[in-house]
Structure formats: C-alpha cells, structure tokens
Amino acid sequence: MIIDPARVDWSRLVPFAILAASIGALVTAYTAELAFGIEPCILCLYQRIPYALAGALALAALLAPGTWGPRPKVWAVIGAAVAFLAGAEIAFYHVGVEQHWWRSLASCAVAASDPEPETVEELRRLLTEARPAKACDEVDWALFGVSMATYNVAASLALAVGSFWGAEKIRRQA
C-alpha cells in the first residue's frame, strides 16, 4: 500500500508525532530512573524540560480549532522545534561536562563517600542532613560507550529538523 503524501493530514500527523516522541522520551527517562535505579543529575533533569514543552505545544496544535486556520498549528510546531533545539543544546552541554571539556555551572555536586556511622547519633546526622546531588560528570549508563546525554543530542536534533520540516508541510498543505 502506497500512501499519497498529498492526502496526508499533516496538520494532525505532525503534532501527533511530536507528542508521541515527547511522551516516549519522558517515559524512557522516568523508566531508567524509577525502574532501573539510574539516578539523574540536575542536567539530566533539565534535559526533560524541552520534551515536556514540545509535548505541550504539540497538544495545543492538536487541540487548536480548524477554524483558526493552519497558522497556530504551524507556530506551535515551530515552537516545538525550537524546544528540541534547546534540548540539544542542554544535552551537548551535559556531554561536555561528562567528557570534562568544561566544568558545569549547574549545581552538580562531586560525589562524596560517607564513612560508616559508628553511633546512632552519626546515623541520625547522615539521615537528616541534605545529601549532595549526583555529580554531572558521572556516566551511569552507556550503550557502545555512548552516554544517554549523547544520544539525546542526536535525538533532539533529529526531532528539531523533523519538526521544522513538519511545520513547512503544514504550511504548504493549507
């Protein structure tokens, strides 16, 4: 079966694809954290924000009434593309921190190992004091030697390009 591109409803397909990709990325991040115990650093958490923003913009594009014309949908999709570009920048910054190309300006702590508590008072102090954040230059998981932040750079750039392309498709179809 061959799909005729002229008959595809780009104004619904593109925002739906952006929403699905955003939800998929967030589900993957939360699954890695909650199901597999991979602790995110502050930069990992920052990388989730563009996906949430792009997903919200895609949902707005899906819910925009057709009587408004294609312009709001095009701008929402362009906004999602810009959010994905921002996500690629955050992820690239994180890769630089992981590779020690530069130091992080975010509140990434250096991992500290606490001594074993010998008394109940020491245990109480360790349990009540604020724990340092996970260090941003620690790579907890990698596939073929490539960290999640590096994969996120590529995914965010691909989603940005795809979103800009989709916005153009929506504009031309109208």
In our burial notation (b when 16+ CB lie closer than 10 A, e otherwise), range 56-81 reads bbbbbbbebeeeeebeebbbbbbbbb
Condensed to tens digits (0 to 9), the pLDDT of residues 107-154 reads 675 544 556 767 878 777 766 776 667 888 888 888 898 999 999 999
Condensed to tens digits (0 to 9), the pLDDT of residues 2-45 reads 666 668 888 899 999 999 999 999 999 999 999 998 999 999 99
Task: Provide the 10 A C-beta neighbour count for residue 7.
Answer: 6
Which amino acid type is present at position 88?
Answer: A
CA distances in angstroms from 5 to 9, 66, 76, 163, listed in the order given:
9, 20, 22, 17
Q: pTM for this structure? A: 0.82
How far apart CA 135 and CA 156 sit, in angstroms, is: 23
pLDDT of residue 2: 65
Reported in sequence order, the residue ranges of the chain that DSSP labels E, i.e. its strands, are 142-143, 146-147
The topology (CATH level 3) of 8-100+135-173 is Bromodomain-like (1.20.1550)
Which amino acid type is present at position 102?
Answer: W
